[in-house]
Amino acid sequence: MSHPCLVTIDSRSAPRTMFSGDQLVDVDLPTGTRVLYTKPPMKPLKDVDAAIRYAIHHPENSEPLYALLKPGMKVTIAIDDISLPLPPMRRPDIRERVLTIVLDLLTDHGVDDVEMIIATSVHRRMKAFEVRHMVGDRIFDKYWPDKLYNHDPEDPEGMVHIGTTEVGEEVELSRRAVESDLTIYVNLNLVPMDGGHKSVSVGLCGYRSLRAHHNPKVMRNCHSYMNPETSELNTSVTRMGRLTNEKLKVFTIETAINNNMFDRPLSFLAKNEDDLSATERVALRTLKATLERTPQPARQAIFQRVPSPYGVIAVHAGETEAVHAKIIAKNFEQYCVPVQGQADILVSGVPYISPYNVNSFLNPLLVQCMASGYLFNLYKGLPMVKKGGTMIIMHPCTDLFDNEHHAPYIEFVHRLLPITRDAVQLHKEFEPQFAKNPAYIEMFRTGHAYHPTHPFFMWYWGEAGRQHLGRMIVVGADNEYIPKLMGWETARTMDEALRMAKSSAPPDPDILALHMPPIGMAEVTAPAGRPPASSRRW
């Protein structure tokens, strides 16, 4: 018997409602299609502050935080940026709660030399209002911008090379963190690929370190990003993280949240359409009609600016790997839905949001990152779709970029992709040029643009999906140019896309549809009588 979150469409089923950017679209899926819904949000902790205190006083594989503190010592607190969670968390953000308790503890122990670094790595610098949302008014007013600031990996004086792993990965980190007596990392683990060694050794590093694993070769060997055990990316980051922890004293505080993305008025978006009450059906129709009549910027504001009522489901602290093992188990518990058998055709809407377009538009390169990267990789075990299978996505693929945040993306999409889609050629021939572009570096360091290499990483992010999938068909694109640049086919309707997909699929193909957001994952196993996952016949 299948999991209650895996619903099979029959002849009486209502149409499914899927995101296509910031619009909602009704889709009639064929009978027999399996639709993967997300698990209901796990029950949040009753007293989060108590859980934080308990975690730092009863850490995993480490002395309690207070025992590590000495008056006059130098402490750096690194914090996950607001690419997590999506959309932003309703205030108080869990990071504010953790920081409040940790900063009070540091003050009580006579630790005055404290600086907080937002661990942006090569993400864009967070703006003041975004940082305020994350850390709260009291901390922001006291520390910003001298003692609370964005990481700058392009500051030649601000980075220090601490060593090279046994396989040649260079580890270069924030000088402030390296020269501190203690580095405390405050994490928010939205999905299983977050946290662990990735926090310090990626969050506080720069391009020199990132290129060791953010490259086509490593990305192709991730099955999937969301399962650390089978992710080459995670293996590389772990090697670098272990070297980091040999050189730095790191105390990790990790938190996990549930998937309560939509507040009560919109909670029906996560439900099975067959189970909607009459009121919810009216609300859904009204919402769709409103979105259709609302200009795009207003639609974006509605979805992005309204914070989500996420609940904290776990807090652990101490030694990085021990802490992360517990947090990631919670992530899997929240997200993983067992699915037996891979599909021939995978269907998914692509929503308006990704970790890289907070407060800006989901540009075409990020649509690619979401489709071939994030959505394709939301699995543990076997990929959701068979090797050579087809993925159908829904998104308008509008040729629009945020000039401030995504300046280097524009050149990547409009100058480089017409030359080649080959990730290896892009990596070898063009990535070094972008990495040294003085204008982009200036925009990154002093404006709010992503690092010039970030669009390359976004392309590599889709590499495992591109290597695995036979075809990608996009439904509802408002232009032909962008899908062609991405190497995708287009269809006007889902029916047309399914007909196209069936032409290269076996008779009576197995179709799996993802009903996301909120976030969920498929734990895919081979059907009974088929080879087990370990045989890797993908």
Partner 1 sequence: MAAMPASYFDVDGTLVSTNLIPPTLYYLLNQPTPLHVMQKLGGALLKAPTMAWAELRDRRLFNETLYSVFQGMSEDRLVTLADDVFDRVVRPAIYPGAKDLVQTSIDSGHDVILISGSLDVVIEHVAKYLGATGYIANRLEVHNLRCTGKLLRPVVAGPNKAILVRDHARENGHDLDECFAYSDSYSDVPMLSIVRYPVAVNPDRRLTQLAKAYSWPTISLDSAARSA
Residues in the site for partner 1, rule: CB under 8 A? 127-128, 145, 401, 403-404, 407, 410-411, 414, 436-443, 445-447, 449
330 versus 405: smaller Cβ distance to partner 1: 405
Distance CA 491, CA 499 (A): 10
- Classify residue 340 as left (phi > 0), alpha (psi -120 to 50) or beta: beta
59 versus 206: smaller Cβ distance to partner 1: 206
- Look at residues 81, 91, 86 and name the one whose alpha carbon lies nearest to residue 48: 91
Both tokens of 119, joined, read 């661990």
> At closest approach, how far in Å is the CB of 300 from partner 1?
18
125 versus 223: smaller Cβ distance to partner 1: 125
> At closest approach, how far in Å is the CB of 440 from partner 1?
6
> At closest approach, how far in Å is the CB of 470 from partner 1?
33
DSSP bridge pairs for 253? 186, 317
Distance CA 430, CA 435 (A): 9
Distance of CA 290 to the CA centre of its chain: 28
DSSP label of 211: T
409 versus 459: smaller Cβ distance to partner 1: 409
> At closest approach, how far in Å is the CB of 159 from partner 1?
14
441 versus 485: smaller Cβ distance to partner 1: 441
CA distances from 27 to 14, 494, 529 (A): 9, 7, 33
> At closest approach, how far in Å is the CB of 408 from partner 1?
8
> At closest approach, how far in Å is the CB of 518 from partner 1?
33
Both tokens of 442, joined, read 């200036």
- Classify residue 250 as left (phi > 0), alpha (psi -120 to 50) or beta: beta
Close Cβ partners of 149 (under 8 Å, ≥ 6 residues apart): 115, 116, 117, 118
222 versus 443: smaller Cβ distance to partner 1: 443
For 119-157, give one letter per residue: b (16+ CB within 10 A) or e: bbbbbbbbeeebbbbbbbeebbeebeeeebbbbbbbeee
447 versus 506: smaller Cβ distance to partner 1: 447
> At closest approach, how far in Å is the CB of 499 from partner 1?
37
Tally the residues of the chain: 538
> At closest approach, how far in Å is the CB of 123 from partner 1?
17
376 versus 440: smaller Cβ distance to partner 1: 440
CA distances from 415 to 101, 146, 421, 426, 450 (A): 49, 39, 11, 11, 18
